[in-house]
Chain A
Amino acid sequence: MNPVTVGILGSLLLVFLLFLGMPIAFVMMLVGFLGIGYLASINAALPVIANTVYETASFYPYTIIPLFILMGGFAGNAGITRGLYQTFDKWFRRLPGGLGIATIASCAFFAALSGSSVAASAAMGNIAIPEMRRFKYAPKLAVGAVAAGGTLSFLIPPSLGFVVYGMLTEQSIGKLLISGIIPGILLSLAFIVVIIFQVKMNPALAPATPGEVSFKEKILAFSGVWETLLVFFIVMGGIYLGFINPTEAGAIGATALLIIILLKKRLTLKNFSASLFEASRISVLVLFLVAGANVFSYFLALSTIPMAVSSWMAGLEVSRYVILAIIILIYMMLGCFLDAISMMVLTMPVIFPVVKALGFDPIWFGVVCVMMMEAGLITPPVGLNVYTLAGVVKDVPMQTIFRGAAPFLLSMIAVVILITLFPKIALFLPNMMGR
């Protein structure tokens, strides 16, 4: 059999085992192992997995993953979400759907401290949804706003999505993180527009919240956001100016949040160990996926498929934007079944060489890619954020959450199109960076 045939058979086996429900990391290791054994030799294949696991687990830049998760956990423990929500409620009460807007804004600010979107959905679900229901918001709008807002954590740095993308494609993680800032703000604004538009069309969705807020109260409400802004500017400012690398930024961010928790006397053993267990679980999950992806990529490289596909794609007589649109469509479909990180590790070995061969900017593609994965968090039938939210608000059916999130999905696509038309939106900040 020629290598390409072996590669295709291997990929088919991978898909088959995936659908049987085998853990994705183990599937990639298994198929990679069998493929390398066939294409090279069994002696070459045997040590690959053990070595890859060790090399992945001991690679210094990856320490950023547990640190980013820990930041999110500590931010949750510090009670920052509640403070954010109260502040934004005071600031946006006059606007149509004010509490919904406050939800999106709080999610965006929480995202500036947390790398995990599930943490954001869970934290905001517990705070924002009871509040919106108290003021008779339509459940669809309330849960939709939280589900969509939660995905912002995936785009606004610190973001796990960019870290994994950077790991798989060997791009600068610092630049990727910085490149997420402006698209993140843009997407948050787009979400807010979606809410205002919906409420304008149908005011019954969100009755106005009674009670005036004086100017003085609005100024005092700033106390709810300063911690977030401070930590965000230390962490991202440090990376942007080239003072610290992203890993160091993660450590400093987590330490700063721990100090805030201690100062507020909110440290409990239960929350603390829950944050650590969460960091452990997600880091192991991600690093095993990356190790599996590395084994599998090694096999794919032996099969010469990535080269064959990218040279074939580059030779096609169509606009590169057509191929980009196809890639985005593939991501939309995969997003319906796979979680974000798995999607990235499974597709990047083939997609990234294609994107590079087509002459797209790798940092820019990182932003597009992360946004597509973000969309996958709220698309049916499998949307991780929706599942999390369904666990938090037990009396709202899953369909309602998916339906509520749908309008926000459209605004995500709109922002992706905007970034494709004007790549500067994503590339402006990273291009100005210190290094």
Chain B
Amino acid sequence: MKIKHLIRRINYYVCGGGMCLLLPLMLLTTGDVVGRKFFAKTIPGAFEISQYLLVVFILLGAAYTQQVKGHVGVDFMTSRFSPRGRALCEMFTTLLSLFIIAILVWEGWVEGIKERTVSDMLRIPQYPFRLLVSIGGFLLWLELLINLTESAAKLKRRTQ
């Protein structure tokens, strides 16, 4: 039980950290436009920094989004099932989600450590951001694992 809350708390703060990057992203882009239009000066590398900020923002939010059931699905059929059927269904689809996210995590790592590209202007290496696919994916995987245990608990309560 304790681990579950710890993971949820971590994912909440990870998302909270990532989302704060939206402000520098917003100000950077605005500053770049204002500089370009009024002072004929641009912020060097604004484009690539924006890209990297977006990567961090999105990937760190993936797990929290699952936590609040933000990855939408269709519950129009399952809402008519019996509670037991619904729990079984959830377990089955969560297992499939765990499988596909596991591939994302694994391949994110494999592809990430191979990456040698640097950004055009500021020469920021790309691999730490590539590896975030794996890290963000792993947090998402943990969140799905929690969902699986919860569905299993529901099923157990029903059968007892």
Query: Contact at B133–A23, with CB atoms within 8 Å?
Result: no
**CB-defined interface of B129-152 with A at 8 Å, one 1/0 digit per residue?**
110011001000000000000000
**Chain B residues, CB < 8 A from A254:** 26
Nearest 3 pairs of A and B residues by beta carbon: A251-B29, A22-B93, A23-B71
- For B33, the closest partner residue in chain A by CB is A248
**Chain A residues, CB < 8 A from B33:** 244, 248, 251-252
**CB-defined interface of A46-71 with B at 8 Å, one 1/0 digit per residue?**
11011101100111101100110010
Query: Contact at B77–A21, with CB atoms within 8 Å?
Result: yes
A39 at the interface (CB under 8 A from B): no
Query: Contact at A288–B37, with CB atoms within 8 Å?
Result: no
A337 at the interface (CB under 8 A from B): yes
A75 at the interface (CB under 8 A from B): no
A342 at the interface (CB under 8 A from B): yes
Query: Contact at A53–B22, with CB atoms within 8 Å?
Result: no
Please tell me which one of the listed residues A19, A25, A54, A243 contacts residue B133 in the complex, with CB atoms under 8 A apart.
A54
**Chain B residues, CB < 8 A from A342:** 72
Distance in angstroms between the alpha carbons of A26 and B25 in the assembled complex: 28
Distance in angstroms between the alpha carbons of A30 and B94 in the assembled complex: 12
Distance in angstroms between the alpha carbons of A389 and B135 in the assembled complex: 37
Interface of A, helix, strand, loop or mixed by DSSP: helix
B residues in contact (CB < 8 Å) with A? 15-16, 18-20, 22, 25-30, 32-33, 37, 47, 50-55, 57-59, 61-62, 64-66, 68, 70-78, 89-90, 92-93, 96-97, 99-101, 103-104, 107-108, 110-112, 129-130, 133-134, 137
Query: Contact at A287–B22, with CB atoms within 8 Å?
Result: no
Interface residues of A in 36-52 (CB under 8 A from B): 46-47, 49-51
Distance in angstroms between the alpha carbons of A50 and B136 in the assembled complex: 11
Instruction: From known contacts A251-B25, A254-B26, infer whether A53 and B100 are also in contact, taking CB-CB under 8 Å.
Output: no
**Contact count band on A:** 35 or more
**Chain B residues, CB < 8 A from A59:** 51, 54
Query: Contact at B64–A63, with CB atoms within 8 Å?
Result: no
**Chain A residues, CB < 8 A from B97:** 22-23, 26, 30
Instruction: From known contacts A19-B74, A251-B26, A339-B72, infer whether A30 and B96 are also in contact, taking CB-CB under 8 Å.
Output: yes
A382 at the interface (CB under 8 A from B): yes
Distance in angstroms between the alpha carbons of A51 and B133 in the assembled complex: 9
A351 at the interface (CB under 8 A from B): no
Query: Contact at B100–A30, with CB atoms within 8 Å?
Result: yes
**CB-defined interface of A240-275 with B at 8 Å, one 1/0 digit per residue?**
000110011011101100100000000000000100
Instruction: From known contacts A54-B133, A280-B65, infer whether A382 and B19 are also in contact, taking CB-CB under 8 Å.
Output: no
Query: Contact at B96–A255, with CB atoms within 8 Å?
Result: no
Query: Contact at B93–A20, with CB atoms within 8 Å?
Result: yes
Q: How distant is A49 from chain B, measured CB to nearest CB, in Å?
A: 5
**Chain B residues, CB < 8 A from A252:** 29-30, 33
